[in-house]
Amino acid sequence: MKSILLQIAMIALSCTMANAQTIKKSGPFRCGGWNDDFRQLRDLHWNVEELDLSEADCDSIRQNALHSRHNLKKIILPNKTRIIGSQALFACDSIESILIPATTERIESRAFGNCTGLRTLTVLASTPPQLAEDAFSGVDLSKIDLILPNGTKKLYKNAKGWDQFFKKVTIIKEQCPEEYALIPIPNNITYSNSQPLLTTHLGNIVAPAQLANESERLKEVLTERLGITKFNKSKANINLSIDKSLTNPEAYKLEINEKGINIVGGDAVGVFYGIMTLDQMLIPDTENGKLTSLKGVSIEDSPRTKMRELMVDPCRIFIPFEDLKDMAKEMARYKMNALHLHLTDDQAWRIEIKKYPKLTEKGSFRVGMDDMQMPIGGFYTQEQMKELVAYAAKYHVEIIPEIEMPGHQVAAIHCYPELTCGAVEIPIRTTCGVSDNLLCPSNEFTYEFLQNVFKELSTVFTSKYVHLGGDEAGNPPLECWSGCESCQALLKKIMAEPGIKPQPGSRNDNWRLQKYMFDRVIDYLHKELGKVPMFWYETDFHEIQPGCVTFAWRHGLTATAIDAAIRCDAKIMLCPGEHCYLDYPAAKGDMPEVNWGMPTTSLEQTYKLDPAWGYDKNFEDNNLFGVAGTLWSECINSTERLYYMAFPRGLALSEAGWSLQKNRSYNGFLQRLERISKDMHRRGICTADPQ
C-alpha cells in the first residue's frame, strides 16, 4: 500500500509541475536507484526549458540522465560535477550553451551527441577532462565557440578528444580491412588473393531497367560512403542482375575483384541485399574516413527465415511520420524486411478511417502515460501511410498494419460506445495494463465496423498481411462477455451446434465467442480482401484458423505456441519476451528505469534466440515464418529512445533471423558490431552501449 500511495503522490507532484518552464534544484539529489531525480526531471517534467542544477549535491550526470529532452534550452550543471556519463544529454538539440564545471574529470561516449543546437561550450577545468572521441558525435564542432581558462589552450589542443576542436576537417584515406564486419553474417564468404579494387574506379553502374530502384539505392550508398556524385563514367563496373536459378528471391551473390563488382539476386530484393552488404563493406574506421580500396571477396547468401520484423507502437507515445520512414530505411540496412505498426490500442487510435472520423477526432489525443503527465496526440492520414508504404518499398520493407480485437480497443470504444457490451461510455486509458472492456461479439455493428476499417486500410497498405491483435482480452480474460445477455445467448447457440464438445483446460467457454469473432473477420479478410491474418497467440486460441500467422510472444509459452501451430498446420512468428521484447531494459538500471515490472533483455539474450527453438527441420521448413522484435512504447517517449531500445539488439535479432545457426557466434557478433555501431553513431543513430 505504501508503494502505491507513493506513486500516486509522485504523479500528483508531476501534475503540479507539468507547466513549469524553469526548475532550480539544490541540496540533496538522488542519483541512481529507482525513479531517481534525473529520471523525474527527464520524463516527468516533459516541458522544462531551463534547468539549474548548480547547487545540487551531485557529482555525476549519470548515463542517459536527460536523454533526448528536446524542449530543454538551458542547463547549468552541478558545481560538483566530476563525470558526465554516456548519452547524458544526447539529442538535447535546443541547448545553445553548456558550462563544464572546474571539477569535471571525465566526459563519456556521446554525452553531448546530437546536441546540434550547441554553439558555446565553456570549460572551467584547468586540466582537460578525459573526453571520449565520440562525446560530440553528430555535432559540427566548427560551429561551437570553445571557451577555456586563460593559459590552457595549448593543453586542450594537445589533449585527446579535445584536439578535434582545433583540427581542420580532412578526409582520411583508409585501406580496406583484413576482414569485413558484416551483420547479419553471410552464409558463405571467401576472400580471394586478387588485387584490391580501387574505390576511385567505381561509379559505373550496369543494370537492366527492372533494377532501376536498386540502381538508385546503389547510388545512395556510393554517394554517402565515397562521395561519388557522377556515375557511368568510371573504370570499374558495378554489375547488377537477376538470376532465377537462385530459388529464394532474397538470395544474392556478391563478387569483388580488381576489375569491378558483380551483384546477382534471385529477384530485385536479393540484389538490394547485396547492395546493403556492400554498404557495410564501405564503412570507414574513423569519423572522416573513406576507404580507398576493397578486398577481393566472394559471398553467397540467403535468409534463414521469411520475415525479419520490428514492431513499433505509436499508440502509447506517438511516433512522428517522418521518423517511421527513417526507421524503415535503417532496419533495411541489416536485412530486416517488415515494419509492423501497432495502430490501435486502449490509449489511442492512430490511423485515419474516413467512415469513422471520431476515431481520430476523439481517439488520438490524451494527457498522460502512467506517471508522465504530458499531452500525447497525433495520427496518420491515409495519404501519409500510402507515402510510407511506397517509401519503404524502395528499401524492400513491408508495412504491416495492426488493428486490435477483441481487447485493447478502449480508444475505439470511447469514440463509439456501441462497440462494447452494454454500450458503456469509457474514457481513453492513460495507463498501461489490461482493460476489461472488449468488442462485443454478439453485436452486428462490431463486424460492420471492423469490415469497414479493414476495407479502407486494404487500399492503403499493399502488404498481404494484416495483424488482428488478439492478446490480453480482459482481466480476467474474456470475462466481459459473461455478463452480456446477448453474448451468452450467442454462446448457447454455438454450444448447441453438432460436434461441439467441452475443451479441456479452458477457463470458460467464452473462448468460443472469440473464435466466432475471429472466424468471421478472418473469413472476410481471406475472401473479400485477399489478406493473410496475423495475431498474437494466447492459450485461449485452441484452434488456429487455416492460412494465418500466429506470434509466439508470451514469456515461457513459446513451445506451447509452436505445438499449437504444428497441430493446426499454421505459420508462426517468434517474438518471445525473453529474447525479443526490445522495450525491456537491456541491463539492470538502463532505460526505462521505472516501469511496470519489466525484466531485462540483454543483447546476449536477444542474440541467443534460435528460431528453430529446438524443433526439427520439418518445423523450420513448414511452420517457422520469421522473427520479430517488439517495441511497446509505454516508456519510450522520444524517437531517439526508440532507436536506443531497438539497437543494437535489433541487429542481434536480424542475425538470428537471417544467418545459419552454424555461422553464428556471440563473440564474433560483438567484434563485428563495434565497427557498425560506430558507423551508426556517426550517422546520428542513437544506440545503447553493448552490456
Q: 91 and 180: one domain?
A: no
Banded model confidence at residue 595, pLDDT cuts 50, 70, 90 = confident
Assigned domain for 389 exists = yes
The answer to whether residues 288 and 309 touch, using CB atoms and an 8 Å cutoff, is no
Last residue of a domain, one of 160, 181, 205: 160
Q: How many residues are given for the chain?
A: 691
Q: What is the pLDDT of residues 199-223, one digit of tens each?
A: 999 999 999 999 999 999 999 999 9
The torsion region of residue 203 among left (phi > 0), alpha (psi -120 to 50) and beta comes to left
Active site residue 178: no
Separation CA 629–CA 655 (nearest Å): 12
Give the residue among 374, 336, 346 at the shortest CA–CA distance from 582.
336
The tally of domains found in the chain comes to: 3
Let me know: does 627 contact 611? Beta carbons within 8 Å: yes
For the CA atoms of the chain, what is the radius of gyration? 27
CATH code of residue 628: 3.20.20.80
Would you say the C-alpha torsion 264, 265, 267, 273 has a positive or negative sign? negative
Over residues 452-475, the mean pLDDT reads 97
Contact between 13 and 37 (Cβ < 8 Å)? no
- Shared domain for 257 and 320, answered yes or no, is no
User: Both ends of the chain: CA-CA distance in Å?
Assistant: 34
Tens digit of each residue's pLDDT (9 = 90 or more) over 135-192: 999 999 999 999 999 999 999 999 999 999 998 888 889 998 889 999 999 999 999 9
Question: What CATH code is carried by the domain that includes residue 198?
Answer: 3.30.379.10
Residue 593 domain-assigned (yes or no) = yes
* Other beta carbons within 10 Å of 33: 10
- Residue 70: which residues within 8 A CB-CB, separation 6 or more? 91, 92, 93, 94, 638
Kind and range of the H or E element at 414?
A: helix 410-415
Q: Are residues 121 and 215 in the same domain?
A: no
DSSP-based three-state secondary structure for 64: coil
Amino acid at 691: Q
pLDDT at 500: 85
Q: Are residues 296 and 317 in the same domain?
A: no
Spell out the long-range contacts of 281-284 with Cβ–Cβ below 8 A and sequence spacing 24 or more: 281/176, 281/180, 281/182, 281/256, 282/199, 282/221, 282/225, 282/226, 283/181, 283/225, 283/675, 283/676, 283/679, 284/172, 284/174, 284/225, 284/679
The string of pLDDT tens digits covering residues 541-555 is 888 998 999 999 999
Based on the domain organization, do 386 and 463 belong to the same domain? yes
Q: Which residues, including other chains, have CB under 8 Å from residue 590's CB and lie 6 or more apart? A: 63, 64, 600, 688, 691
Confidence of residue 20 (pLDDT cuts 50, 70, 90): low
Measured over the CA atoms of residue 431, residue 434, residue 436 and residue 441, the dihedral's sign is positive
- Of the candidates 480, 472, 522, the one whose C-alpha atom is nearest the C-alpha of residue 632 is 472
Task: Indicate whether 503 belongs to any domain.
Answer: no
CB 190 within 8 A of CB 673: no
Co-location of 391 and 463 in the same domain:
yes
- Nearest CA to 296 out of 187, 222, 195 is that of 195
Q: What pLDDT sits at residue 629?
A: 98
Portion of the chain with pLDDT greater than 70, in percent: 97
- One domain for residues 608 and 650: yes
Residues 611 and 572 in one domain: yes
CB 341 within 8 A of CB 400: yes
- 200 secondary structure, DSSP code: G
The single-letter DSSP state of residue 5 is H
Band of the pLDDT at 507, cuts 50, 70, 90?
confident
What is the CB-side half-sphere exposure of residue 159 using CA atoms within 13 A? Answer: 17
C-alpha span between 342 and 351 (Å, rounded):
10
What DSSP string runs through 134-194? TTTTT--GGG-EEE--TT-HHHHHTSTTGGGGTSPP-PEEEPPPSS---SSPPSEEEE--S
Q: Do 268 and 394 reside in the same domain of the chain?
A: no
**Domain around 63:** 2-160
- Cα–Cα distance list, 665 to 171, 515, 600, 662 (Å): 34, 42, 21, 8
User: What mean pLDDT, rounded, does the chain reach?
Assistant: 94
Mean pLDDT throughout 479-488?
96
Pairwise CA distance, residues 632 & 106, whole Å = 34
Bridge partner residues of 686 (DSSP): none
User: Are 399 and 415 found together in one domain?
Assistant: yes
11-19: average pLDDT: 41
Instruction: Answer yes or no: are the C-beta atoms of 466 and 515 closer than 8 Å.
Output: no
Buried b (16+ CB within 10 A) or exposed e, 647-666: bbbbbbbbbbbbbeeeebee
Choose, from 36, 43, 345, 370, the residue flagged as catalytic.
Answer: 345
CATH of the domain at 148: 3.80.10.10
Of the residues 55, 243, 258, 472, which is catalytic? 472
**How large is the average pLDDT for residues 476-480?**
92
- Distances in Å between the Cα of 382 and the Cα atoms of 36, 352, 532, 638, 642 are 41, 6, 21, 23, 23
Domain boundary, last residue among 301, 324, 341:
301
Q: Give yes or no: 214 in active site.
A: no
Last residue of a domain, one of 132, 160, 188: 160
Please indicate whether residue 472 is annotated as part of the active site: yes
Q: What is the mean pLDDT of residues 17-40?
A: 84
For 23, half-sphere exposure in the C-beta direction (CA atoms, 13 angstrom radius) is 26
User: Rounded CA gap, 79 and 410, in Å?
Assistant: 48
How many alpha carbons lie under 13 Å from residue 249 in its C-beta half-sphere? Answer: 7
Mean pLDDT of 254-269: 97
Left, alpha or beta for 184 (phi > 0: left; psi -120 to 50: alpha)? Answer: beta
Q: Percentage of residues in the chain with pLDDT exceeding 90?
A: 89
Tell whether 372 is covered by a domain.
yes
Question: What are residue 326's phi and psi, to 5 degrees?
Answer: -65, -40
Tell me: pLDDT of 4 over 50: no
Whether 90 is covered by a domain: the verdict is yes
Amino acid at 28: P
Give me the mean pLDDT over the 25-51 stretch: 92
Tell whether 486 is covered by a domain.
Answer: no
Spell out a b/e string for 109-120, using b for 16 or more CB atoms within 10 Å of the CB, else e. bbbbbbbeebee
Cβ atoms within 10 Å, residue 129: 23
Residue 108, in any domain of the structure: yes
Question: Do 279 and 225 meet the contact criterion of CB atoms below 8 Å apart?
Answer: yes
- The 3-state secondary structure of 35-48 reads CCHHHHHHHHCCCC
pLDDT one-digit tens code per residue, 287-296: 889 999 999 9
How much is the pLDDT for 151? 96
| Residue 539 scores a pLDDT above 70 | yes
Cβ neighbours around 142 below 10 Å, total: 9
Shared domain check, 252 and 131: no
pLDDT given at position 234:
80
Using CA atoms, how far apart are residues 415 and 429, in angstroms rounded to an integer?
Answer: 12
> CA–CA separation, 297 vs 190, rounded Å?
6
Catalytic residue among 45, 67, 408, 467: 408
Give domain status of residue 77, yes or no: yes
Reading the block at residue 465, the C-alpha cell is: 498481411
C-alpha 508/C-alpha 403 separation (Å) is 25
- Mean pLDDT, rounded, for 327-340: 98
Q: Are residues 29 and 63 in the same domain?
A: yes
Can you tell me the mean pLDDT for 430-449? 97
Q: How far apart are CA 678 and CA 483, in angstroms?
A: 57
Contact 673, 690 (CB under 8 A): yes
pLDDT above 90 (res 673): yes
pLDDT at 615 over 70: yes
**Exposure b/e, 432-443, CB count within 10 A at least 16 = b:** beebbbbbbbbb
> How far apart, in whole angstroms, are the C-alpha atoms of residue 598 and residue 586?
10
Q: How many other CB atoms are there within 10 angstroms of residue 17's CB atom?
A: 17
